[in-house]
Amino acid sequence: MTSQLEAGAQAPAAAAHRQRAARHRPPANGPAGRLKMRLLQAATVVGFLALWELFARTPTAAKADMPGALESLGRLGELLLTGKYWAALGSTTGSWAVALTASIVMGVPAGLAIGRSRKVFDSTKWSIDFLRTIPSVAFIPLALLLMGRTQAMVIVVAVIPAVWPLVIQAIYAGQQADPMLGRVARSFRLTLADRIRYVLAPDVLAFIWPGLRLATTAALLVTVSAELIGGSRGIGSEIMNAQIYNRSATLYAWVLTACFLGLLINAVLAVLQRKLLWWHPSLRGKQR
């Protein structure tokens, strides 16, 4: 009995000690936590490059004429000094940017209009579910026949997979919109610009942002694929040319270029997300 009483008396003290330790413990998402995460990410990249270099020295890779990581990165450094490299990178980036912008302009208003009307949603649900399951690369031969090996062909094909995530998320935004916010805005006699900036945009952006992340990745993937299959100028056509002329190191250098471009775009989106959605609970917890 005495030991139980002593344990009960010591329990509040132990709980208070744990609380003090938790207050003084550095947060996982603080400067030390972020530094640790960056070091782990860098170590992962270095480990991947080391495995790539080791595998390139095996007999299997030698038969396939697979270059190592050092050789591919060295060839990438050589390409960085040429105007041809930046012209191809600019062409791919331009096609991707135009396709993504067109997808936003078309997909977001259409999705909001569908989500606001129950009848329109019921009448279009089956068509949307059917059309968005069609692989976008299946449209490349048709686009080649209609538009030829042009940048317009690449843009049109890249819009197809990018528009559907935006439409779907905009539909959810239209369905989940709180009508009370509109009434409050009207009661305060806000202007149309203020309603869009302070009421509609924050409410809609939280739903649309995941669709934008998916649309960004899909547009970039299909842009490179359309250039590779269709032969339009860009990273994809350079990959195809390197494969045709059996320039393995050049091929992997262009593949790394596409990877780095995707990482750069994702980093920019992450920064924009912290700036535009700073008020969201999921981000407020990370900023403490």
Q: Phi first, then psi: what are they for 58, rounded to 5°?
A: -80, 160
| 188 & 277 share domain | yes
Q: What is the mean pLDDT of the chain?
A: 82
| 45 & 170 share domain | no
Q: Is residue 8 part of a domain?
A: no
Compare 132 and 281 and report the one with higher pLDDT.
132
pLDDT of residue 70: 92
| 103 & 218 share domain | yes
pTM score of the predicted model: 0.79
Which two structure tokens, joined as six digits, stand for 217?
């990745």
| 222 & 152 share domain | yes
Q: Is residue 3 part of a domain?
A: no
pLDDT of residue 4: 44
- What gap in Å lies between CA 160 and CA 110, rounded to an integer? 14
Q: Is residue 16 part of a domain?
A: no
Q: Is residue 24 part of a domain?
A: no
| 115 & 39 share domain | no
For the chain, how many structural domains are there in total?
Answer: 2
Question: pLDDT per residue over 135-164, tens digit each?
Answer: 888 888 889 888 888 899 999 999 999 999
Is the per-residue pLDDT at 81 higher than 80? yes
Q: Is residue 136 part of a domain?
A: yes
- What gap in Å lies between CA 28 and CA 214, rounded to an integer? 28
Question: pLDDT per residue over 225-277, tens digit each?
Answer: 999 988 888 999 999 999 999 899 999 999 999 999 999 999 899 888 888 77
Tell me, what CATH number does 134's domain have?
Answer: 1.10.3720.10
| 97 & 122 share domain | yes
Is the per-residue pLDDT at 88 higher than 60? yes
| 136 & 278 share domain | yes
pLDDT of residue 79: 95
- Say which residues have a Cβ less than 8 Å from residue 280's Cβ, sequence separation at least 6: 206
Question: pLDDT per residue over 183-205, tens digit each?
Answer: 777 777 777 677 666 677 777 88
| 43 & 113 share domain | no
